[in-house]
Amino acid sequence: MSKNILLIGGAGFIGSNLAKFFSDQGFNCIIIDNFLKTSSANKFNLIKIKNIKIINKEITRIKNIKKYLDWSNYIYCLFSQSGHSLSISEPLKDVNININDHVYLLNQVVKSKCKSKIFYTSTRQVYGRSKTKKFLKESSLIKNYVDLNAVSKYACENYYIFYKKFYNLDITILRLTNVFGPNMRIKDANLNFLGFWIGQSILKNKIEIYGKANDIRDYLFIDDLVRIFFIIKDMNLKRDIYNLGGKYTTSLNKISKILKKINPNLRTIKSNNEKSLDIGQIILDSSSLYQNLDLRFTRLHKALSITYEYYKSNYKNYI
């Protein structure tokens, strides 16, 4: 079987790490990305990756998109407008990228001869602000949205499910939570608070905690994520949707203490301003996917250390 990977939104945080991993395994990768300024897309993410072709265009402007769909064995739909505040300030753009462009892609898949396995990356945000300390299963009620991004991502999930069943496509939806590591956006907190913390800890030796410092979340290191993606790519996945969360559940306060061990000069400031768009405490139950996998997760302190040292060495390429 050919080993051809199509990564749509592949120049960003997750996509570039997937491209590097799959390329190292001998796969051929085509990346489609229009390098949105508000995304994590960064040309520096891709400079050391072999066996890749980069198409710098919006997906709807690629005239021969069916050629790339037919070429691929695996398609990773990673593109989106992410972030709480962006979805509120630009709701039409949020709908256009997070729904319309994906429906366009699905229609092109139907029109093509594509027989690829398709993975759509969704987010924990679709669960909204949780009022429970229990782990959330895929069947947990969707409610308490904090932003429009959650609304559009959940709507997009339903489009993928409809196309899967109506057109008999091989589609799996993966809900990710608090993924971190090299290549993520660190210049602001629009996409990832932990990335911003790491950036601020390097630039200013200071981080600011919004919300409740004892809120618990689960965290997933990017190296662990790409290994999971590689393991499951050829599995016969029965469900439409899987949680893909972290091994370690940790409070914001403990994360800040780990960062202080990594950078002894770090100061932590408790903000008096509450972020109305903050999702608060949320942890996912990923057992439906993980229970049959032999997984070894990177310890949190080590993962944060690797991430910190990466940005300490490459900070100028991410600000």
Asked if residue 257 belongs to a domain, the reply is: no
Q: How confident is the model at residue 83 (pLDDT cuts 50, 70, 90)?
A: confident
Q: Residue 151 is part of a domain; what is its CATH number?
A: 3.40.50.720
Of all residues in the chain, the percent with pLDDT exceeding 90 is 71
> Domain tally for the chain?
1
By residue range, what is the domain housing residue 73?
4-181+218-248+282-298
Asked if residue 138 belongs to a domain, the reply is: yes
pLDDT tens for each residue of 248-307:
888 889 999 999 999 999 998 877 655 555 666 778 999 999 998 989 999 999 999 999
pLDDT tens for each residue of 27-46:
999 999 999 988 999 999 99
Helix (H) or strand (E) holding 95: helix 91-95
Asked if residue 209 belongs to a domain, the reply is: no
Q: How far apart are CA 132 and CA 141, in angstroms?
A: 12
Q: What is the pLDDT of residue 66?
A: 95
Asked if residue 87 belongs to a domain, the reply is: yes
pLDDT tens for each residue of 153-176:
999 999 999 999 999 999 999 999
Checking if the pLDDT of 10 tops 90, the result is yes
CB 31 within 8 Å of CB 53: yes
Mean pLDDT of 74-99: 89
Asked if residue 303 belongs to a domain, the reply is: no
Q: What is the pLDDT of residue 272?
A: 64
Q: How far apart are CA 39 and CA 250, in angstroms?
A: 26
Asked if residue 93 belongs to a domain, the reply is: yes
Q: How far apart are CA 14 and CA 241, in angstroms?
A: 19
Q: What is the pLDDT of residue 1?
A: 57
Asked if residue 227 belongs to a domain, the reply is: yes
Asked if residue 271 belongs to a domain, the reply is: no
